[in-house]
Amino acid sequence: MSSPRCGNRSTGGRAGRRGRGRWWVRWLAGVGVLLVVVVGISVWLIMDYRAFLKEPIRVPSGGLVYEVKPGTSVRNLARDLRRRDVIRHPLYLTLHARLAGLDGRIQAGEYRISPGLTPGGLLDLLTSGRTVQARLTIPEGWTFRQMLAAIQAHPKIRSVIEPGQDVMALLGQPGMAPEGWFFPETYYFPKGTTDLEFLRRAHREMQRRLGEAWRARAQDLPLESAYQALILASILEKETSRKEEYPLVAAVFVRRLERGMKLQTDPTVIYGMGARFDGNLRRRDLREDTPYNTYVHKGLPPTPICLPGADALWAATHPADAPYLYFVSKGDGTHYFSKTYKEHQKAVRKYQLRR
């Protein structure tokens, strides 16, 4: 009876070992299947990621102007682009930015996204700072008041200057009148530029242009400083619309200054009248004692009367070598220049009184 029992124990032990062996086989097979799945998914993700980087983003045929707010992270940027259906996978864009070292380098502003751009190209654009540029033209001859109103009314410019603030003090020149100190031209700038930043740029440009003209000025000018040249240039800007006449008008005023004669220029009188000027200049206006009335006071007015351009600055510092002391409008935008008062009176009768 003992032999069968021994045989049973031997058979059961072998069966248990076989069972334990099958468990390990099943476990290894499961791990193998899992690894195959993981590797397969990884390969698919890598291929999908690479395909994502090559495929064009989805924008309208005319392109898309997209604004990046200050402080926007790559993750939030990617999510927003996905909401707009510009890209299909925000995680891929975030991953690429980090792998390319572009995370944290996104620059705020408006960007024009063109059709055909890839996600990588999009990130390059948004980190380049090549934003859409707004434009504002400041015409020659505008006053500072006109310029400031246009700047603060521009929809892309943010106003930080409060009413009544001393603009020149904000620019580091307290006590200086702002008139004339800003160069008139077309300026390009990104959305969000402040009015103070715009003025600082135009002021620096005027300082540069005036400095260049003054350093190259003609000899023996009856001007004591570059600021006086700026004042004279502003008068030229208002006296004639013909740039080719600037040097001749400058010659008249320079000769008058040399002889101690009054400039007798209407634009300075009009500037001194301010808002009271209604478009008609009367005899009583020419006799009114204001600091800007050059019919009453000798020499230049105390400040410029407008924003002069490059041609006026150059003419003020390089007047024509001409013997003229007078000029009168011919009614067609040009002027007749005279050497003597007698000749001038004759020209006035011809071109003014007949009209």
The CATH number of residue 76's host domain is: 3.30.1490.480
Give the per-residue pLDDT at 239: 95
Q: Does residue 196 share a domain with residue 269?
A: no
Cross-strand partners of 133: 190
- 84 falls within a domain: yes
- 10 falls within a domain: no
Return all residues near 108 (Cβ < 8 A) that are at least 6 apart.
Answer: 68, 69, 70, 71, 72, 192
119 lies in which domain range?
A: 39-131
Q: How far is 133 from 110, CA to CA, in rounded Å? A: 8
Tell me the three state secondary structure of residue 180. coil
Q: Does residue 287 share a domain with residue 235?
A: yes
Tens place of pLDDT per residue across the chain (355 aa): 444 444 455 555 555 555 555 766 676 667 777 776 667 777 767 887 788 888 898 999 889 999 999 889 999 999 999 999 999 889 989 999 998 888 889 999 999 999 999 999 999 999 998 999 999 999 999 999 999 999 999 999 999 999 989 999 999 999 999 999 999 999 999 999 999 999 999 999 999 999 999 999 999 999 999 999 999 999 999 999 999 999 999 999 999 999 999 999 999 999 999 989 888 889 999 999 999 999 999 999 999 999 999 999 999 999 999 999 999 999 888 999 999 999 999 999 988 876 5
Q: Does residue 230 share a domain with residue 183?
A: no
Instruction: Locate 169 and state its tokens.
Output: 């003090």
- 239 falls within a domain: yes
Q: Which of 131, 149, 182 is the last residue of a domain?
A: 131
- 265 falls within a domain: yes
Q: Are strands 157-158 and 193-194 parallel, antiparallel or unpaired?
A: parallel
- 229 falls within a domain: yes
The label of the residue with tokens 């390319």 reads 100
Q: How far is 156 from 198, CA to CA, in rounded Å? A: 11
Q: Does residue 235 share a domain with residue 147?
A: no
Q: Does residue 141 share a domain with residue 165?
A: yes
Question: In the chain, which residue ranges form alpha helices assigned H by DSSP?
Answer: 2-54, 74-83, 90-99, 119-126, 144-153, 167-170, 195-215, 226-239, 246-259, 266-273, 283-287, 310-317, 341-348
Give the per-residue pLDDT at 6: 46
Q: Does residue 235 share a domain with residue 195?
A: no
Q: Which of 101, 131, 161 is the last residue of a domain?
A: 131
Q: Does residue 256 share a domain with residue 166?
A: no
Give the per-residue pLDDT at 332: 87
Give the per-residue pLDDT at 103: 83
Q: Does residue 235 share a domain with residue 203?
A: no
What are the backbone dihedrals phi and psi of residue 65, each rounded to the nearest 5 degrees, phi first?
-95, 115
- 49 falls within a domain: yes
Number of domains in the chain: 3
**Residue 269: HSE in the Cβ half-sphere, 13 Å Cα cutoff:** 22
Q: Does residue 241 share a domain with residue 125?
A: no
Q: How far is 317 from 128, CA to CA, in rounded Å? A: 42
Give the per-residue pLDDT at 14: 56
Q: Does residue 228 share a domain with residue 310?
A: yes
Q: Does residue 327 share a domain with residue 227?
A: yes
- 17 falls within a domain: no
Q: Which of 110, 131, 152 is the last residue of a domain?
A: 131
Q: What is the 3-state secondary structure (H, E, C) of 123-177?
A: HHHHCCCCCCEEEEECCCCCCHHHHHHHHHHCCCEECCCCCCCCHHHHCCCCCCC
- 215 falls within a domain: no
Give the per-residue pLDDT at 214: 98
Give the per-residue pLDDT at 37: 67
Q: How far is 150 from 160, CA to CA, in rounded Å? A: 14
Q: Does residue 143 share a domain with residue 126?
A: no
